Amino acid sequence: MKVALIGHGVVGAGVAELLLKQADVIKKRTGGESIDLKYILEIRDFPDLSYSDRFIRDFSVIEGDPEIHTVVEAIGGVGAAYRFDKAALLAGKNVVTSNKELVAEKGAELLAIAKEKNVNFLFEAAVCGGVPVIRPIYRCLGAADIQLVGGILNGTTNYILTKMLREHTEFQDALRQAQALGYAETDPTADIMGDDACRKICILASLVFGKAVRPAQVPAEGIMDIQPEDMACAESVHGAVKLIGCAERLTDGTLSIWVAPAFLRENCPLRTVDGVFNAMLVRSGTAGDLMFYGKGAGKLPTASSILADLLECAEAKGHLRGVFWEDASKSVTADAGSVPGKHYIRLGGLDEAAIEKLFGPVDYLRPEGAPPGERAFLTIPISPKTLDMLLDLACKQGAEVRSKLRVFE
């Protein structure tokens, strides 16, 4: 099977490296068929590489070569990547990508083209890098009545929040450490604002529930406002604060989807997932709770997931894999402000009697060293709209709201 690679950045170089180094292993996995890298589309030159003769600059060479069975796209974004991937599918070639932005925005369209052309559009590496989650969902859990999927989908923010919780590091200092170690980009906006996790939960929700969910439909919050006092509250009950992406099917068939920093109590299985690790929870009516865990990014972990998709394409031999969702004629997401849930609140200026009169029975958190007059608590399930109304009333009574987070259980 001959393949072409688009892009020779960090991920693309990892794919080329594994294809060459693991050639014998791949051949055993495919029952004797090799996966040969014929072209690498790049605008830069790499004359010192042992495979420098495979670099080209004209995509039409790949598009028009009948020997090319599968195209691996590793350039990112929705501009050129979309044009290349669409053209490759229309030319009857399988496409494998790790491009989460493209899959979240254009997945329904590209999957429809792949289905029409009887080829595959695969993207195992687009959600949790080296952690296999896409294939287990469509292969092993296709009949599992999945009700909820979500978890820690961004290793950068998890590293920062872990530093803040375990070592009491300030947010900016933790971010600088992440950048120094290569865990965060020079411009970390997509990570710390929740955009990266939003794209990933859109892919998961679309795959699990069968209808396209796009980032513009999902409320996303970042982690910049998390304070040391919030971490102290979490620590006081052996909990944690994590950036969570969550998609849940409600009783009326609509989906509650959100990305936000959330308060995790001691019994939450995601609480102990620290550092740059990702973890995804799948809650099923038949299989119960399942969790997938591992490093979500990096050159070789991501490349290994891409190679797994290449093996899928080699084994498919003209058969479609069960990866598909369709465009929805109307939004399938519920009104985010109307879905009830528990919330963590930290405020000053109200005594416990006034708090309970407004919020009903609450669970108080009593961290050591809390400022005088400050109270933190967990509410009973209420909708965000109701919560905002109650907090407005609290402010009129002299309260100062210092923090509010969802509770993820």
Residue 247: other Cβ atoms inside 10 A: 26
> What is the per-residue pLDDT for 199?
97
Reading the block at residue 152, the tokens are 């820690």
Residue 55 near residue 42, CB atoms below 8 Å: yes
CA 344 to chain centre: 24
> What is the per-residue pLDDT for 143?
85
pTM of the model: 0.94
CA distance 154 to 242: 10
Strand partners, 247: 149, 257
- What would the pLDDT profile of 134-190 be if each residue is shown by its tens digit? 999 988 898 889 999 999 999 999 999 999 999 999 999 999 999 998 888 899 999
DSSP-derived pairing of the beta strands 240-249 and 146-152: antiparallel
Point out the residues of the chain with pLDDT beneath 50: none
> What is the per-residue pLDDT for 153?
96
Q: Which residue type occupies 195?
A: D
**CA gyration radius, the chain:** 23
What is the rounded (10 degree) CA torsion for 275, 302, 100, 97? 180
> What is the per-residue pLDDT for 32?
86
Task: Tell me the three state secondary structure of residue 281.
Answer: strand
Reading the block at residue 101, the tokens are 């932005």
> What is the per-residue pLDDT for 84?
98
CA distance 126 to 199: 9
Strand partners, 94: 70
> What is the per-residue pLDDT for 218?
96
- Look at phi and psi of residue 197 and say left if phi exceeds 0, alpha if psi is from -120 to 50, else beta: alpha
Task: Tell me the three state secondary structure of residue 73.
Answer: strand
DSSP line for 201-212: HHHHHHHHHSB-
> What is the per-residue pLDDT for 341?
96
- What would the pLDDT profile of 344-395 be if each residue is shown by its tens digit? 999 999 999 999 999 999 999 999 999 999 999 999 999 999 999 999 999 9
Domains and CATH numbers, the chain: 2-131+299-316 (3.40.50.720), 136-295 (3.30.360.10), 340-408 (3.30.70)
Residues in the chain: 409
- Give all strands (DSSP E) within 195-311, no chain letters: 240-249, 255-264, 277-284, 288-295
Q: What is the DSSP letter of 183?
A: S
Q: Which residues contact 406 (CB under 8 A, 6 or more apart)?
A: 244, 258, 260, 261, 262, 263, 341, 342, 343, 344
> What is the per-residue pLDDT for 297?
75
> What is the per-residue pLDDT for 142?
83
Element (H, E) at 311: helix 299-316
CA distance 145 to 284: 5
Q: Which residue type occupies 300?
A: L
Task: Tell me the three state secondary structure of residue 57.
Answer: coil
Q: Which residues are catalytic?
A: 200
> What is the per-residue pLDDT for 240?
98
> What is the per-residue pLDDT for 127?
94
Burial of 284: CB neighbours in 10 Å, binned 0-12, 13-18, 19+: middle
